[in-house]
Structure 1
């Protein structure tokens, strides 16, 4: 890494970008207006994404098993479902009647049994996007923070900014903020935004430039030309740095895009104190581990989107897959 790169930036006159120079445009805290409380399962540094707070509700589990089985069978009778699940037939009938009442299943005599309806697509609609990225990324992001100690963030495009949806600050011994969750780094000065714009398809990049021009009259042709040159350099290096003019100036943020094919799904960052890592060591201690982590995540996303089922590949599995290629 260039020894002088901490304090320089190829985009000039950033202070002219009204509303664009702050790392975060706004943030919110979900549930802050809600009354009451609920027992959580995540003490600081001890999160477990699959550990339940309460014992499972068996009737819900049975209904989901019926729905999964029927979705796999396409069309099935009570006898078919009993043969696959082993559940009592009266239980299956009650579960089916409930699923019919909610619109997920239809009884169709012309098909000779039960079938799922179009509404099952609603169950999948919320998965593609941040839920999918977090499921694929979470163990590797935690592994990276445990290795290099610095917090890792994951953000996705949200209109004219990047929304931070995941952050390992709760397990980092060198965390530098209370939380970055729900912050919205902008596309011009943030590492996340720069990584996204540099690697997204050209057509999408042009639409993003159009949004920036429409929102900010101070973003003129000279600034746009300089930013395009910066993005070209980001593509060449394979990572982005946030603007050194962005507060807090004591920190550096490095971002790498998480991609699938030509699409950028998200940006992953590592943030650290300028004084903690010498510029000559940043590549070895931060950038390369970040790139390796993103490569593992992209392998898991390919596995998921290619129809892989069962347990997701672990870090060791991904390493074996890479060696087998």
Structure 2
């Protein structure tokens, strides 16, 4: 670049420094950014707010971390789920304004579902603690896991079941009953949404009789082409609202949230 006889813009330099740190670290708290840059937190907050307004930065609800938008990335890695959280996070926030029960965005892993984002901190019923980022969810017992299994492509379904059959423990016992799993998938597809297993109480391995979180959940898959890239659930205290009652009240809100994520992902050319 030519040696222009002008002074650099200090505020712009600080903003670019913050963006560079975010790109290198991929996610950082306000305190992390303060330690990395030495910029005072009030100034950092203004920088992040400005960057957010320009679509360069977003904030994850599950842990408050700041992340660079994918508009800053040269390309999206095929195994990178950040784009899904970036699109899904504001949708979950919109959902929390209509439904006061929490929702979780999760993605399939080899033998379980992993939570990536939740709007628990935005819901009125904060007695339901937010699931931490990276929480492992039972594939066969949870509503999200059952939604994934019921709508994923057949080869993927067979591969997942094969892995689950080879694992020890009661959490995987259902995988060895092919007829029961097929019936579960058919019933879930007819219903249009997934529900928890009757003996699932939120713990990965133990049945509801031993570990009960007091919740009920429904879930729907996020589908792009024939792939299930993730699931969104809705969870509530079952002593307050029945499964039937919650479905009648909020199923359409959940369906709208899922469709919104799908539409925004397609419009951005992500995950396809």
The Cα of 1:136 is off from its aligned counterpart by 1.7
Choose the corresponding residue for 1:202, options 118, 140, 154.
154
Task: Write the distance in 1 (CA, Å) between the matches of 2:115 and 2:106.
Answer: 4
Deviation track 1:249-279 (CA, whole Å, cap 9, x = no partner) reads 5210111000101000101011001122244
Task: Write the distance in 2 (CA, Å) between the matches of 1:240 and 1:160.
Answer: 18
Choose the corresponding residue for 1:233, options 180, 187, 192.
187
Correspondence for 1:290: 254
Q: Point out which structure has higher relative CO (alpha carbons under 8 A, 6+ apart).
A: 1
Deviation track 1:52-103 (CA, whole Å, cap 9, x = no partner) reads 53647xxxxxxx9xxxxxxxxxxxxxxxxxxxxxxxxxxxxxxxxxxxxxxx
The Cα of 1:127 is off from its aligned counterpart by 7.5
Partner secondary structure for residue 276 of structure 1: coil
Task: Write the distance in 2 (CA, Å) between the matches of 1:300 and 1:221.
Answer: 34
Contact kept? 1:244, 1:252, Cα under 8 Å: no
Task: Write the distance in 1 (CA, Å) between the matches of 2:244 and 2:77.
Answer: 42
Choose the corresponding residue for 2:217, options 253, 258, 261.
253
Question: Is 1:134–2:85 an aligned residue pair?
Answer: yes
Q: Which structure has the larger Rg over C-alpha atoms?
A: 1
Task: Write the distance in 1 (CA, Å) between the matches of 2:198 and 2:130.
Answer: 21
Correspondence for 2:116: 165
TM-score in terms of structure 2 length:
0.65
Q: Which consecutive residues of structure 2, in runs of 5 or more, have no partner in the other structure?
A: 1-29, 35-42, 49-55, 57-72, 202-211
Correspondence for 1:143: 94
Question: How many residues are matched?
Answer: 199
Contact kept? 2:216, 2:243, Cα under 8 Å: no
Question: Is 1:184–2:136 an aligned residue pair?
Answer: yes
Contact kept? 2:148, 2:230, Cα under 8 Å: yes
Partner secondary structure for residue 124 of structure 1: coil
Q: How does 1:65-76 map to 2 (within 5 A)?
A: none
Task: Write the distance in 1 (CA, Å) between the matches of 2:176 and 2:111.
Answer: 20
The Cα of 1:162 is off from its aligned counterpart by 0.7
CA 1:149–1:52 in 2, change beyond 3 Å: closer, same or farther? farther
CA 1:205–1:280 in 2, change beyond 3 Å: closer, same or farther? closer
Partner secondary structure for residue 265 of structure 1: strand
Q: How does 1:71-110 map to 2 (within 5 A)?
A: none
Deviation track 1:271-298 (CA, whole Å, cap 9, x = no partner) reads 0011222444222312221011111111
CA 1:55–1:145 in 2, change beyond 3 Å: closer, same or farther? closer
The Cα of 1:142 is off from its aligned counterpart by 0.7
Q: Which consecutive residues of structure 1, in runs of 5 or more, have no partner in the other structure?
A: 1-36, 42-50, 57-63, 65-121, 308-325
TM-score in terms of structure 1 length:
0.55
CA 1:52–1:157 in 2, change beyond 3 Å: closer, same or farther? farther
